[in-house]
């Protein structure tokens, strides 16, 4: 098997490995330093605080992380104090576990970062449960935990302040890599051996990853004052690279064709394999850009495509001449798209080989980037408005509180040893708002714990030297936090032996069987609860995703209608509408993927929803194609027939939205009276092409309407 050294190197430059270095250092340093002064126990308590706070250290702007960790430290101290006193009585402890599990699980209503603050607070509660503290020692011990949390906050902020652009480079590099994978999947459509339906599934799945990674880049780039307000060469390159990459992704999305028809028509010519080869080569160049951004180096292009594209043009012209009855228009469109993609790749390379930052501003200097990021509200009303069983966050919080109470009772009655808090820890880690996520995390936790337990036993049997064990411990911690967000199974495989070695170094002894059994108990409780206690199934929420994506497409179509009617539509308005479509489409695709992992009895209209997802992808791709044509060719004031087609498509989609329980999108352009077609000027070639494209969009809109009716039908 060929080893991809580029991927291995990319991993060591990535934010995942950066986490694997930063987090263990932040956790271990207090223990290492204080142990030199014979205060290892104090250092260990501070490390416990750092361990809890590091949960909040997720990718994002430094200011957001800092604020979240400040709030997390306040919660850390309060929960540690409350638990320290509540644990003196089993009934007050049970009450505390129930109440705090509900309270901090409700933090999910404020987004992922707030949810991580809640997880941090629950972790310190769990770790404090079995601490044999006297009442007089509770405040002092809690203060030490707080000191560890504050230490980690300062360490993490300092880490990012030293290299303010590094996190943005890593996030952007990984996003570019996701686009390269998306392009490779697109290339596979031109290969006759590729199953089109299966490839659509891969495409939709990869689109989710691209959308998520682009959101992460937007947050870290456009919410960071350092990157946006500074006019340095590095900051400009990062912002402009991302802007061009989003445009490139739109172009890739817009290159949609009837692949079955193209294969049938042109398979014998062999030209489709050439197109796939060029696309694969371009994906390789996008990968090279990703590596360049990730490693912060300037790299030469490995391949230029001008000659290949000219050769492809000659082949396309030959096909038109050799087969007079065969239209090669589709191939010409593909060639145009390939040339545009090549130009965008060249443009990005030029950014990294330009010595003057003034040359990099282009037309993007005045773009209001803040409009492209989602701003999370933290009003108390949001919290209390979710106190209803119609809210998935509320159901999750109630489920978490009940399950944690059951886990606590179980741990006190049948769990093994003195570390039965592992039962609660397993429940907190596994239990997620949706069934599919809980199921996935449950499976990963079990496999990782069993595999890691076996590795841990072998390490403890073969290594007896404490210094060597400590070195292995550090390596295992690095592996744990490097793979925590990348591959949870691998992370747990590293985590289990590191915990076992840690307990041996602390003099606790071999606890492999205890850890595995407690994990099994916690996993079983969490799995049963996610199925029986106020479960949240995707079919209950999929309707919201359907109507959201329809509304986004209607708004995108409206921008086109305004342009071709002669109204002024800014580039920002187009890009905001485009972003909304891509984000809503990714949300729908993610919901569909989660639905496929749920029990068959809970999968309603799964085939119809899959059809909707594919049709939505086709619709969005074709709208993006027209939007690109309008922005590049400047098509304005076209024939009234084209406006009629858009109005008809919007009317059909609005009708779907109404059936799904959504609000009909009211647009001023729909009220505009159509001009008598007799007064229209003679249609140009661009008008005829636009009419053909809008006619196809109208057809797809009707297909979506039929699928929507099937989804809503009771049978």
Full 3-state SS string of 41-56: HHHHHHHHHHHHHHHH
Q: How far apart are CA 240 and CA 328, in angstroms?
A: 36
Counting Cα atoms < 13 Å in the Cβ hemisphere of 400 gives 30
- Confidence band for 499, pLDDT divided at 50, 70 and 90: confident
- Report the b/e string of 357-366 with b at 16+ CB within 10 A: eeebeeeeee
Res. 692: pLDDT tops 90: no
Q: Would the pLDDT of 682 be above 70?
A: no
pLDDT at 91: 93
CA-CA-CA-CA torsion sign (407, 410, 412, 416) = negative
DSSP H stretches of helix in 255-328: 259-266, 271-295, 306-322
Q: Which CATH class is domain 173-365?
A: mainly alpha
- 335 neighbors 309 (Cβ within 8 angstroms): yes
pLDDT digits (tens, 9 = 90+) for 318-331: 876 655 555 677 78
Cα separation, 569 vs 578, in Å, equals 13
Cα of 363 vs its chain's centroid, Å: 29
pLDDT band for position 414 (50/70/90)?
Answer: confident
Whether 417 shows a pLDDT value over 90: the answer reads no
Residue 377 Ramachandran class (φ > 0 left, ψ -120 to 50 alpha, else beta): beta
Q: What is the CA radius of gyration of the chain?
A: 28
Q: How confident is the model at residue 507 (pLDDT cuts 50, 70, 90)?
A: low
- DSSP code of 194? S
User: Is the pLDDT assigned to residue 674 strictly greater than 70?
Assistant: no
pLDDT band at 48 (very low <50, low <70, confident <90, very high): very high
Give the C-alpha separation, 25 to 19, whole Å.
Answer: 10
Residues in CB range of 46: below 8 A, 6 or more apart: 30, 31, 34, 144, 145, 147, 148, 151
Give me the pLDDT at residue 671, please.
Answer: 60
- Reported as a single tens digit per residue, the pLDDT across 208-218 is 899 889 888 88
Q: Matching CATH topology for 173-365 and 538-712?
A: yes
Q: Can you tell me the distance from the alpha carbon of 568 to that of 633, in angstroms, rounded to the nearest whole number?
A: 15
Name the percent of the chain lying above pLDDT 70.
88
Whether 99 shows a pLDDT value over 90: the answer reads yes
Q: How many CA atoms are closer than 13 Å to the CA of 23, on its beta-carbon side?
A: 27
Please indicate whether residue 270 or residue 567 has the higher confidence score (pLDDT). Answer: 270
Q: Which ranges of 506-570 would DSSP assign to H, the alpha helix?
A: 512-532, 542-564
pLDDT at 359: 45
Higher-confidence position of 414 and 655: 655
- pLDDT of 590-636, one tens digit each? 888 888 888 888 888 888 998 999 899 889 888 888 887 777 666 56
pLDDT at 319: 79
CA 112 – CA 103 distance, rounded (Å): 15
pLDDT, greater one: 668 or 534: 534
Tokens representing residue 376 in the block: 């999370």
In this structure, of 31-35, 159-163, 274-278, the range with the lowest mean pLDDT score is 159-163
- pLDDT score for 303: 84
Average pLDDT for residues 42-46, to the nearest whole number? 92
pLDDT band at 266 (very low <50, low <70, confident <90, very high): confident
Segment 450-492, tens digit of pLDDT = 898 889 888 888 888 888 888 999 999 999 999 988 899 999 9
In the numeric block, the tokens 């006190």 are attached to 412
Q: What is the mean pLDDT of residues 177-205?
A: 90
**pLDDT of the residue at 75:** 96
pLDDT digits (tens, 9 = 90+) for 106-121: 999 998 899 999 999 9
**Higher pLDDT among residues 408 and 683, named by residue:** 408
In the prediction, which pLDDT does 258 show?
77
Give the span between the Cα atoms of 43 and 392, in whole angstroms: 40
Domain boundaries, the chain: 1-162, 173-365, 411-534, 538-712
Q: Could you read off the pLDDT of 346-390 as tens digits, one per residue? A: 888 888 776 544 444 444 444 566 666 677 788 889 998 999 888
Output the pTM of the full model.
Answer: 0.85
- The topology under which CATH files domain 538-712 is Methane Monooxygenase Hydroxylase; Chain G, domain 1 (1.20.58)
| Confidence grade of residue 445 (pLDDT, cut at 50, 70, 90) | confident
Greater pLDDT, 1 or 185: 185
Q: What is the 3-state secondary structure (H, E, C) of 595-625?
A: HHCCCHHHCCCHHHHHHHHHHHHHHHHHHHH
What are the angstrom distances between the C-alpha of 200 and each of 3, 185, 196?
Answer: 28, 9, 6
Cβ pair 289, 175 in contact under 8 A: no
Q: How confident is the prediction for the chain on average, in pLDDT?
A: 84
The answer to whether the Cα torsion of 352, 353, 358, 364 is positive or negative is negative
Handedness of CA 104, 76, 157, 170 (dihedral sign): negative
Average pLDDT over residues 697-713: 91
């Amino acid at each position: 098997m060929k080893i991809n050294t580029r991927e291995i190197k990319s991993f060591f430059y990535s934010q995942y490995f950066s986490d694997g270095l930063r987090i263990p250092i932040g956790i271990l340093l207090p223990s290492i330093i204080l142990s030199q002064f014979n205060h290892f126990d104090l250092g260990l308590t501070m490390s416990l605080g750092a361990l809890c706070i590091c949960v909040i250290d997720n990718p994002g702007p430094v200011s957001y992380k800092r604020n979240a960790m400040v709030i997390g430290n306040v919660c850390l101290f309060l929960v540690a104090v409350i638990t320290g006193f509540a644990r003196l009585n089993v009934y007050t402890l049970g009450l505390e576990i129930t109440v705090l599990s509900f309270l901090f699980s409700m933090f999910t209503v404020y987004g992922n970062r707030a949810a991580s603050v809640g997880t941090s607070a629950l972790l310190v509660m769990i770790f404090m449960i079995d601490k044999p503290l006297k009442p007089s020692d509770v405040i002092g011990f809690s203060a030490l935990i707080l000191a560890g949390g504050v230490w980690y906050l300062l360490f993490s902020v300092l880490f990012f302040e030293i290299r303010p652009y590094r996190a943005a480079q890593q996030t952007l590099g990984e996003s570019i890599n996701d686009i390269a994978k998306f392009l490779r999947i697109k290339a596979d459509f031109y290969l006759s051996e590729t199953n089109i339906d299966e490839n659509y599934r891969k495409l939709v799945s990869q689109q989710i990853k691209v959308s998520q990674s682009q959101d992460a880049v937007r947050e870290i780039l456009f919410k960071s004052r350092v990157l946006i307000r500074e006019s340095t060469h590095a900051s400009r390159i990062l912002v402009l690279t991302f802007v061009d990459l989003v445009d490139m992704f739109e172009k890739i999305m817009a290159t949609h064709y009837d692949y079955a028809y193209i294969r049938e028509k042109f398979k014998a010519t062999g030209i489709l394999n050439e197109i796939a080869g060029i696309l694969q080569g371009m994906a390789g160049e996008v990968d090279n850009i990703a590596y360049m951004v990730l490693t912060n180096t300037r790299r030469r292009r490995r391949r230029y495509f001008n000659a290949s594209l000219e050769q492809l043009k000659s082949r396309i012209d030959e096909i038109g001449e050799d087969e007079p009855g065969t239209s090669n228009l589709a191939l010409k469109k593909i060639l145009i798209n390939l040339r545009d993609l090549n130009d965008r790749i060249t443009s990005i390379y030029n950014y990294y080989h330009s010595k003057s930052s003034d040359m990099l501003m282009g037309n993007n200097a005045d773009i209001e980037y803040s409009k492209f990021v989602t701003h999370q509200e933290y009003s108390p009303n949001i919290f209390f408005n979710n106190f209803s069983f119609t809210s998935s966050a509320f159901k999750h919080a109630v489920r978490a509180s009940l399950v944690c109470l059951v886990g606590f009772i179980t741990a006190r009655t049948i769990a093994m040893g003195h570390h039965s808090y592992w039962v609660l820890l397993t429940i907190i880690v596994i239990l997620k708002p949706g069934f599919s996520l809980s199921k996935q995390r449950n499976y990963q936790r079990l496999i990782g714990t069993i595999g890691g337990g076996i590795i841990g036993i072998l390490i403890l049997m073969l290594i007896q030297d404490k210094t060597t064990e400590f070195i292995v411990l550090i390596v295992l911690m690095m592996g744990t936090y490097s793979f925590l967000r990348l591959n949870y199974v691998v992370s747990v495989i590293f985590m289990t032996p590191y915990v076992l070695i840690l307990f041996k170094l602390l003099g606790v002894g071999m606890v492999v069987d205890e850890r595995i059994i407690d994990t099994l108990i916690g996993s079983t409780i969490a799995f049963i609860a996610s199925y029986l206690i106020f479960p949240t199934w995707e079919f209950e929420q999929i309707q919201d995703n359907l109507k959201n994506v329809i509304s986004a497409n209607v708004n995108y179509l409206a921008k086109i209608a305004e342009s071709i009617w002669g109204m002024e539509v800014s580039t920002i308005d187009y890009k905001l509408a485009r972003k909304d479509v891509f984000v809503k489409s990714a949300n729908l695709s993610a919901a569909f993927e989660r639905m496929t992992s749920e029990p068959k009895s809970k999968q309603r209209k799964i085939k119809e929803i899959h059809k909707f997802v594919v049709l939505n992808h086709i619709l969005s791709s074709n709208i993006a194609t027209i939007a690109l044509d309008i922005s590049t060719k400047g098509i304005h004031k076209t024939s009234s027939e084209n406006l009629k087609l858009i109005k008809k498509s919007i009317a059909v989609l609005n009708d779907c939205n109404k059936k799904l329980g959504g609000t009909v999108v009211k647009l001023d352009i729909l009220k505009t009276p159509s001009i008598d077609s007799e007064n229209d000027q003679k249609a140009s070639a661009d008008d005829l092409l636009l009419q053909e494209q809008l006619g196809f969009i109208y057809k797809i809109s009707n297909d979506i309407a039929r699928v929507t009716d099937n989804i809503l039908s009771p049978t």
